[in-house]
């Protein structure tokens, strides 16, 4: 599924996932960018690192993995997340007051935003005022025709209703999981089946496209007129770190290429399964 040379941006957290087996490049936006690059897009991460060894190592890894980046170096420690795995399922301790809480837009990168075909963002990096303002500014700079992808990615306690509502109003594509759907249904006083809740969210925020992942139970993709449902392939999972981000990346490439919904879904599921066969969110299969 090789892409045309679409211009794709991920903005937000950039960090080290400190796994039991060692540190791995992490952060949902960079995972997304890595996998859209795999499909042939011109993909760039906007974030920040510290003026420290971990920051230098992160930039070296981005270079090695051929990931384009527009990064501020700030007087804060480079971000880290302590990851524990229980039967391949990750749990996280996300450290605060780190570099990606202080993202700024470089002037020379504003033109790239104005030419973007898609931008992906989440809630986590919006926990700080500075990064919140930068992310909102960036989204408003991309063309109206671009896919504005809100991958909600709840991490306690780093979200609130104000951030969620403002993000959904900026987005036209929404990606969430079954647990996040339950939280949102309470937050917005929605009732019904999963499908009904998803349709209500689409209508409430004028979304063009919605993706719901249900873990081992499969996933659903929605447009205004169509729904696709798929189960999860039976594979031997190594870990699920980054699986959702790789799903989103493949899905966005399919949308940009105007593939049929069923094909988009099949390719997103297949790519996420491929990632689950390897350690970490950005396995070396590029």
66-88 pLDDT, tens digit per residue, is 889 999 999 999 999 887 877 76
Determine the Cα–Cα distance for residues 39 and 33; give it in Å rounded to an integer. Answer: 10
Nearest CA to 131 among 191, 71, 195, 196? Answer: 71
pTM: 0.90
Contacts of 241 (CB under 8 A, 6+ apart): 17, 19, 24, 26, 83, 90, 279, 280, 281
CA proximity to 241, closest of 93, 84, 79: 84
Q: What is the mean pLDDT of residues 144-161?
A: 88
What is the model's pLDDT at position 244? Answer: 81
Q: What is the pLDDT of residue 3?
A: 43
* Residues contacting 267, CB < 8 A, separation 6+: 1, 250, 251, 253, 254, 259
Residues above pLDDT 70, as percent of the chain? 92
Answer whether 78's CB lies under 8 Å from 98's CB.
yes
CATH of 7-276, one of 3.40.1190.20, 1.10.287.1080, 3.30.56.10, 3.20.20.140: 3.40.1190.20
Type and span of the H or E element at 73: strand 68-74
177-213 pLDDT tens trace: 999 999 999 999 999 999 999 999 999 999 999 999 9
Residue 81: phi, psi to the nearest 5?
Answer: -130, 125
Per-domain boundaries in the chain: 7-276
Rounded-to-integer distance, Cα 149 and Cα 43, Å:
14
242 pLDDT band, cuts 50/70/90, is low
Query: Can you give the pLDDT at residue 4?
Result: 57
């Amino acid at each position: 599924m090789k892409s045309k040379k679409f211009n794709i941006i991920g903005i937000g957290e950039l960090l080290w996932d400190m796994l039991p087996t060692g540190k791995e490049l992490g952060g949902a936006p960079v995972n997304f960018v890595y996998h859209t690059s795999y499909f042939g897009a011109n993909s760039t991460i906007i974030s920040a690192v510290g003026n420290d060894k971990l920051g230098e190592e992160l930039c070296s890894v981005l270079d090695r993995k051929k990931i384009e980046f527009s990064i501020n170096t700030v007087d804060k420690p480079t971000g880290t997340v302590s990851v524990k795995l229980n039967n391949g399922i990750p749990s996280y301790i996300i450290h605060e007051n780190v570099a990606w809480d202080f993202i700024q837009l470089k002037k020379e990168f504003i033109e790239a935003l104005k030419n973007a075909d898609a931008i992906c963002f989440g809630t986590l990096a919006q926990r700080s005022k500075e990064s919140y303002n930068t992310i909102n500014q960036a989204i408003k700079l991309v063309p109206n025709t671009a896919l504005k992808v809100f991958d909600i990615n709840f991490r306690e306690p780093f979200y609130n209703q104000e951030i969620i509502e403002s993000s959904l109003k900026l987005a036209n594509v929404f990606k969430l999981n079954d647990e996040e759907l339950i939280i949102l249904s309470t937050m917005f006083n929605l009732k019904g089946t999963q499908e009904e809740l998803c349709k209500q969210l689409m209508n409430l925020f004028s979304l063009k496209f919605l993706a719901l992942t249900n873990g081992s139970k499969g996933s659903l993709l929605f447009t205004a007129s169509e729904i696709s449902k798929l189960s999860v392939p039976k594979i031997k999972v190594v870990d699920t770190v980054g699986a959702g981000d790789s799903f989103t990346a493949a899905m966005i490439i399919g949308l940009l290429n105007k593939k049929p919904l069923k094909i988009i879904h099949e390719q997103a599921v297949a790519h996420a399964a491929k990632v689950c066969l390897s350690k970490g969110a950005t396995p070396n299969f590029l």
